[in-house]
Amino acid sequence: MIPPLIELNRVYRTFEKDGEVLPVLQDINLQVHPAEILCLVGESGCGKTTTGKIIAGFLDPSQGQVLISGKPQSAYRRSERSKLRRSMQIVHQDPFASLNPAHTIEQILSFPLRRHHMVNGRNELRRKIWELLTLVDLTPPGDIVNKYPHQLSGGQRQRVSIARALTVNPQLIIADEAVSMVDVSIRIGILKMLHRLREEFNLAIVFITHDLALAKYFAWEGRLAVMYLGRIVEIGRTQDIIQNPAHPYTRALLSAVPEADPYVTKKKEPMKLRSDNIPSLNNIPSGCAFNPRCPFYMPGTCDTVVPALSNVSQFGQKVACEPLRLRGELRLYET
Amino acid sequence: MKPNKVVFSVRDLSISYSAERGRVKAVTNVSFDLHEGETLAFIGESGCGKSTLNLGLLRLLPRAGQIDKGSITYTYRNGRQVDIRALTDRQLKRFLWAECSMVFQGALNSLNPVLRVSDMVYDTARAHNLDRSEAKKRALELFEKVRLEGKRVFTAYPHELSGGMRQRVLLALSLLLKPQVIIMDEPTTAVDILTQRSILEVLKELRRELDFSVIFVSHDLAVAAEIADIVATMYAGEIVEMGPVADVFYRSRHAYTFSLLDAAPRLSAGDQELHSIPGSPPDLIEPPSGCKFHERCRFATDICVSTQPELIAETGRHFAACHHSDRVLATRKEVVQV
């Protein structure tokens, strides 16, 4: 069996802020397999970006292990390690911030190509740049190479970011809210392109987003992990989770999202939470972090036991919810 | 649709910005009516002119912007009418908040960080000759209505409140002087899903309990689908389609509305075949000939290049400016099964 590209084992990550230690990630167990689409969803502060950075090797875990192709980093030699790092690339949310405004597109793409000796000589460099721009549908490349980022539209800039990620032949691309700043009308084009690149190069894609409808569309054939306050609360096939959500938090999210269909969206019944307040990271509730807001709260259980991701009958996905694990169903909490 | 009184009546409004290369025609010949009690949503991509239009309605344009022509007629509760363009600065100051208020995107920018919420309430009260205690009483009532702890929020500084709370504070403050109209520019864009939900629910409750109309600007079709009575699609500074929300969504008559909906993922729709709109919005200094959307339009033919389509009534209050509105409608009906 091919080992996962990346495996996070009991990963914790803390950050220090104003002398306080914030547990940004707790007990994250996650595998990214070759050529798969894995989508991390959750609201701001849930740890999805930090998880992406740990997957990419930009951040080390405070505790726990990251395995690359089945082996810990320390098992690789130095030269191998930088090669492994290179095989994982991040595409950030804001292409204005991630592309140097003083460099032309040609310069932006040639830097990593030369730095990592991906090409020999000027002709090959030029050919490679044209090939990359064609891959991301920036055609004809001759119109693009001499432009600066500000001369391109938001969608075009994001395509340049993706072309840059492709310069080093990665196996995994982490797209962190990569189309959130792009206009609705052109998002789909970029997502379709990512799908195509994935098939063409056997790329795995970790897609990080707060937009559930977008996650559903992009990762329909892949997997979804829902995060809340630093933990994964539900993980499985996207179709299973979207069609039959298990965790109360996932149910709340899905029921809260308005839809671009007047009848459907007006008929939706948003789940009523017990509280609108999102606990802060320096004061995460004990037990299940969602318990103070959860309408299915089970006193004595949810506030004491930290639920582990487990299989529950009638659900294809794994879910971290004690009432579900114990009873197989959710009952409303009545005061 | 109930034939309510028209609160805002806009005719042939054009707004432009001065730029180095020439004038950017941000809004061109826009006409619409906002009826009492209705929510009118402007949808469209960034740069389509929807925010400019709404700033223009209240003469809040930045320095480089100017209203070139058109009229903005406002009808007071007592039936008296006024052209907003003819108001003096002093009259305008009194008009804002009391008759028409605005809620912008990014609540932190709209709340003064060094003032307590109470100071902002008192400032507004003073500017409009409202008694302090009366203002406080009303603010506390409104805070409760938007599901905030009134007393706590009243004395808080903006940084002590979460993003969702700030947005609800703004919503409450905008209602302080019982305006007839609230203009909201992307009020739920920068917030999380559950926060957005609570803002939408609060807004719907307020609409049921208090008497005001809403002009809503959003690039989010889903939010428009949920709260709007009337939807206006804008493209390149023009209203290209306008009508009751169900007409615009299910019986789209303009190719651009059609294409926007064809690019919008829906959570409950299963595996979807979606399509992007090719290209990007046009240059508004030298806009394209004919229909401004023709370069990106899958329905376009020669006439779209040569002749600008007029906004014509399809049925009742449903208007569209598209040479191929019948083809668009037929194609949309194939996609939508209602």
Contact A277 B264 (CB under 8 A): no
Contact B267 A259 (CB under 8 A): yes
Residue B1's pLDDT is 47
Instruction: Tell me, yes or no, whether A13 lies in a domain.
Output: no
Instruction: Tell me, yes or no, whether A52 lies in a domain.
Output: no
| B93: its two tokens | 């100051």
**What is the 3 state secondary structure string of B244-279?**
EHHHHHHCCCCHHHHHHHCCCCCHHHCCCCCCCCCC
Q: Distance between CA atoms of B300 and B253, rounded to whole angstroms?
A: 14
* The CATH fold of domain B6-228: Rossmann fold (3.40.50)
CB contact residues (below 8 A), chain B span 209-248, against chain A: 219-223, 225-226, 245-246
Q: Distance between CA atoms of A162 and B212, rounded to whole angstroms?
A: 47
Average pLDDT for residues A2-24, to the nearest whole number?
Answer: 93
| B172: its two tokens | 């409450």
| Three-state SS at B4 | coil
Read off the pLDDT of residues A192-250 as tens digits, 9 standing for 90 and up: 999 999 999 999 999 999 999 999 999 999 999 999 999 999 999 999 999 999 999 99
What is the secondary structure of B132-181 as a DSSP string? HHHHHHHHHHHHHHTT--HHHHHT--GGGS-HHHHHHHHHHHHTTT--SE
Range B299-315 burial, b when 16+ CB lie within 10 A, else e: bbeeebeeebbebeebe
Contact A278 B162 (CB under 8 A): yes
A153 touching B (Cβ < 8 Å): yes
Nearest CB among B194, B197, B246 relative to A262 is that of: B246
Residue A41's pLDDT is 97
Distances (CA, A) of B127 to B91, B94, B95: 12, 8, 11
Contact B221 A184 (CB under 8 A): yes
Q: Please report residues of B whose CB lies closer than 8 A to that of A153.
A: 280
B249 touching A (Cβ < 8 Å): yes
DSSP conformation class of A149: G
Q: Please report residues of A whose CB lies closer than 8 A to that of B274.
A: 188, 217
Over chain A, what is the mean pLDDT? 93
Residue A201 burial (C-beta neighbours within 10 Å; 0-12, 13-18, 19+): middle
* Sequence-ordered alpha helix ranges (H) in B20-149: 50-57, 89-98, 107-110, 117-127, 132-145
Nearest CB among B250, B260, B338 relative to A185 is that of: B260
Helices (H) and strands (E) in chain A, counts: 12, 12
| Three-state SS at A235 | strand
Q: Please report residues of B whose CB lies closer than 8 A to that of A43.
A: 192-195
Phi, psi (rounded to 5 degrees) for B117: -55, -40
Query: So where are chain B's domains?
Result: 6-228, 248-335
Peptide bond into B158 cis (omega under 30): no
Read off the pLDDT of residues A237-250 as tens digits, 9 standing for 90 and up: 999 999 999 999 99
Which residue type, as a one-letter code, is found at position A210?
A: H
pLDDT at A124 over 60: yes
Nearest CB among A155, A260, A277 relative to B225 is that of: A260
B89 touching A (Cβ < 8 Å): no
Nearest CB among A43, A217, A273 relative to B272 is that of: A217
Q: Please report residues of B whose CB lies closer than 8 A to that of A259.
A: 222, 225-226, 266-268
Q: Please report residues of B whose CB lies closer than 8 A to that of A256.
A: 193-194, 196-197
Nearest CB among B225, B245, B275 relative to A188 is that of: B275
What is the secondary structure of A43-102 as a DSSP string? -TTSSHHHHHHHHHTSS--SEEEEEETTEEGGGS-HHHHHHHHHTEEEE-S-HHHHS-TT
pLDDT 10s per residue in chain B (338 long)?
456 899 999 999 999 999 988 999 999 999 999 999 999 999 998 889 998 999 999 999 999 999 999 999 999 999 999 999 999 999 999 999 999 999 887 656 778 889 999 999 999 999 898 999 999 999 999 999 888 888 999 999 988 888 888 888 999 999 999 999 999 998 887 788 998 898 899 999 999 889 899 999 998 999 999 999 999 999 999 999 999 999 999 999 999 999 999 999 999 888 889 999 998 889 899 999 999 999 999 999 999 999 999 999 988 899 999 999 999 999 998 888 65
Contact between A10 and A309 (Cβ < 8 Å): no
Contact A213 B274 (CB under 8 A): no
Task: Kindly tell me the sign of the dihedral angle through the C-alpha atoms of B54, B56, B61, B66.
Answer: positive
How many domains does chain A contain in total? Answer: 2
Contact between B235 and B58 (Cβ < 8 Å): no
Half-sphere exposure of B92 (CA within 13 A, CB side): 13
Contact A257 B222 (CB under 8 A): yes
Residue A266's pLDDT is 94
Contact A43 B272 (CB under 8 A): no
Partners of B101 in the beta sheet?
B182
A43 touching B (Cβ < 8 Å): yes
Distances (CA, A) of A137 to A133, A193, B145: 6, 8, 50
pLDDT cut 70: percent of chain A above it? 100
E-strand stretches of chain A: 6-17, 20-32, 37-41, 63-68, 71-72, 88-91, 172-176, 204-209, 223-228, 231-237, 310-311, 318-319
pLDDT band at A333 (very low <50, low <70, confident <90, very high): very high
Residue B199's pLDDT is 87
B190 touching A (Cβ < 8 Å): no
Nearest CB among A188, A217, A270 relative to B197 is that of: A270
Instruction: Tell me, yes or no, whether A107 lies in a domain.
Output: yes
Contact between A174 and A89 (Cβ < 8 Å): yes
* Phi-psi region at B165: left, alpha or beta (left = phi > 0; alpha = psi -120 to 50): alpha
A175 touching B (Cβ < 8 Å): no
Read off the pLDDT of residues A31-63 as tens digits, 9 standing for 90 and up: 999 999 999 999 988 999 999 999 999 999 999
Partners of A38 in the beta sheet?
A206, A223
- How many Cβ pairs closer than 8 A exist between chain A and B? 120
B265 touching A (Cβ < 8 Å): yes
Maximum distance among all Cα pairs of chain A, rounded to whole angstroms: 74
* Domain that includes residue A147, residue range: 101-167
